[in-house]
Amino acid sequence: MEILAQIWSFLGLLTVLQNVLPSQILTLILSWYESLQDLISPYSYFEIPEFNGYCSVEPNELYRQIQLYLQSLGTCLNSRRVTATRAKNSRQISFMVAPNQSFDDTWNGRKFLWTHHVETVQESLEERRSFGLKISKRDREFGLNRYFERIAKIAEEFENSSRDRRLFTNNGHGGFESGWASVPFRHPATFETLAFDPKLKAEITSDLTAFSKARDFYSRVGRSWKRGYLLYGPPGTGKSSLIAAMANFLHYDVYDLELTKVSDNSELRALLIQTTNKSIIVIEDIDCSLDFSDRNLNFRRRKLPENRKHCQNGPENPGQVTLSGLLNFTDGLWSCCGEERIIVFTTNYKDAIDVALIRSGRMDMHIRLGPAGFDAFKTLACNYLGLRDHRLFEIIEREISEGGRLTPAEISEIMVRFKGDVDNALREVVTALKESVMEFVDEKTDSFQGVVGSPLKGFGMAGKGKKGGLTWQEKVRCLVRVKSLMRSSSSSSSKRGI
Ligand SMILES: Nc1ncnc2c1ncn2[C@@H]1O[C@H](COP(=O)(O)OP(=O)(O)OP(=O)(O)O)[C@@H](O)[C@H]1O
Ligand SMILES: [Mg+2]
């Protein structure tokens, strides 16, 4: 009350003085009064404006961090009025202290009183926003820096975990502005739902975590903060799903770059410099997308076109971007624009790629995805059928160990078809595994016969024809024999220096 009375009388005095004193003297008196107040008040006051400087458009990072920090408290904000908003196409609700309302924060036994100031500038009708902080002078000395550090940390974590991520694609119209089109990224794949070797999973997740925390490391060693992954393996083994899981794990945006739609290297550069930090740039089927001829003519003569027979665009239509153009961005001068980016190439045929593109430093981690092992099968059974164990698991494990090769996509397709009918789903998996063993044996016996003549001679199978009439058990036995024969034939070949 006493302070109020003081202010009231001061304001009265001020009005009188305003009429008699020049404005410079008035300003001086005001600032003396404020200094005096600061001296006797037990509190310190801070003003954190939205922009750095009065007429500046440069955002104040501290304001943004405080905003995120308050948002992270969500419904725990103990302000009398809270505004709740949701962006279009978003699932996230954001909470914020309503304009000109206050909020109490307590940390380490110290109190911080925040006020969200919003005032409208009369001439332009623009809103000027800031946060005001009131703390006791004692706390200012002891804990303010650490309190702001804590705010920055929580704000970053909240931003990473809550921001809506987007999936971008180059729409092929070219040009700087219209290069990328985007939709919200909501792929459900995670490392928990992915079915592959648990050791490999752990290796990838720890590599990603280490990368995302390595800002200081990369700047210390003088490298741009990015990492390359090459994912290779047959169709349906989970390459695209793994990319989605990586993006979900790190909370990154995804840029799906369709190289065949990029007209030339300069358009590629324009597209890539528009990509944001904390993103994964994906080039799928790299072997079908790139002209490898400019760096390595021998490679092209040697390996093309037979290595591109599988490409849908046809072996001779890989797009106009050259290997040099891409390398210039992956680790040339342009590689330093932007940070915290992951570049992922996928291919079904690793051998079809120029080694220059996938050497370490460019593609740091090479990940082979193959047919489902027993662990992968168990993950799929748990995801699709809700099963942790079943009497047929043992048989399935044996089939897989004896050479049954189904991709996770094939197994999931069976499980979707028989969902709700666990026994039949598993029986179907067993049958499909057996068939895959037979196909494998057929392939191998064919190729082996090409090398050393008929391997079936001497197996007691003569007269049954080349492969026909064999049961799958016979074929498995045959395969084991074929394998050992192939081993001995290759070792004798190498001894002979072939
Ligand atoms: N490892 C896996 N774990 C769980 N599901 C998988 C896995 N691999 C494949 N699938 C299932 O199969 C479907 C196809 O997989 P995905 O597109 O990731 O394969 P891909 O290796 O990228 O194939 P392609 O080489 O044809 O592009 C996915 O939608 C997913 O349901
Ligand atoms: Mg794919």
105-132 pLDDT, tens digit each = 988 888 899 999 998 877 767 788 999 9
Report how far ligand 1's centroid is from the alpha carbon of 409 (Å).
Answer: 5
Q: Which atom of ligand 1 is nearest to the CA of 241?
A: 18
Q: What is the pLDDT of residue 372?
A: 95
Kindly report, residue by residue over 218-227, the tens digit of the pLDDT.
888 888 888 9
Is the separation of the CB atoms in 76 and 84 below 8 Å? Answer: no
Which of 379, 406, 412 has the most ligand 1 atoms within 8 A of CB, as the residue to mutate? 412
Report how far ligand 1's centroid is from the alpha carbon of 416 (Å).
Answer: 14
Cα–Cα dist 320/259, whole Å: 8
Report how far ligand 2's centroid is from the alpha carbon of 239 (Å).
Answer: 5
Report how far ligand 1's centroid is from the alpha carbon of 11 (Å).
Answer: 73
> Which ligand has its closest atom nearest to the C-alpha of 189?
1
Q: Which atom of ligand 1 is nearest to the CA of 383?
A: 4
Which of 232, 240, 405 has the most ligand 1 atoms within 8 A of CB, as the residue to mutate? 240
Report how far ligand 1's centroid is from the alpha carbon of 187 (Å).
Answer: 12
Whether the bond between 188 and the residue before it is cis, its omega within 30 degrees of 0, is no
- What are φ and ψ of residue 314, in 5° steps? 90, 145
18 pLDDT more than 80: no
**What's the average model confidence in pLDDT over 312-324?**
61
Helices (H) and strands (E) in the chain, counts: 17, 13
Which residues does a 6 A CB cutoff place in the pocket of ligand 1? 194-196, 235-241, 348, 408-409, 412
Report how far ligand 1's centroid is from the alpha carbon of 194 (Å).
Answer: 9
Give the confidence band of 478 by pLDDT, cuts at 50, 70, 90: low
Cα–Cα dist 243/385, whole Å: 24
Q: Whose CA is nearest to atom 27 of ligand 1?
A: 235
Which of 193, 196, 241, 375 has the most ligand 1 atoms within 8 A of CB, as the residue to mutate? 241
Query: In the CATH hierarchy, which fold is given to the domain comprising 166-368?
Result: Rossmann fold (3.40.50)
Q: Where are the alpha helices (DSSP H) in 21-92?
A: 23-40, 61-72
Q: pTM to 2 decimals? A: 0.69
Q: What is the pLDDT of residue 334?
A: 63
Report how far ligand 1's centroid is from the alpha carbon of 448 (Å).
Answer: 31
Is the separation of the CB atoms in 436 and 409 below 8 Å? Answer: no
The pairing of beta strand 127-136 with beta strand 43-49: antiparallel
Give the confidence band of 395 by pLDDT, cuts at 50, 70, 90: very high
Cα–Cα dist 73/360, whole Å: 43
> Which ligand has its closest atom nearest to the C-alpha of 238?
1
Which is more confidently placed, 449 or 118? 118
Q: Among candidates 149, 143, 113, which has minimal Cα distance to 131?
A: 113
Q: Which atom of ligand 1 is nearest to the CA of 244?
A: 18
The pairing of beta strand 110-120 with beta strand 365-368: unpaired
> Which ligand has its closest atom nearest to the C-alpha of 348?
1
Q: What is the pLDDT of residue 245?
A: 97
The CATH 3.40.50.300 domain(s) of the chain lie at: 166-368
Give the confidence band of 480 by pLDDT, cuts at 50, 70, 90: low
Is the separation of the CB atoms in 28 and 5 below 8 Å? Answer: no
Q: What is the pLDDT of residue 357?
A: 82
Q: Which atom of ligand 1 is nearest to the CA of 409?
A: 12
**What's the average model confidence in pLDDT over 186-203?**
93
Q: What is the pLDDT of residue 205?
A: 97
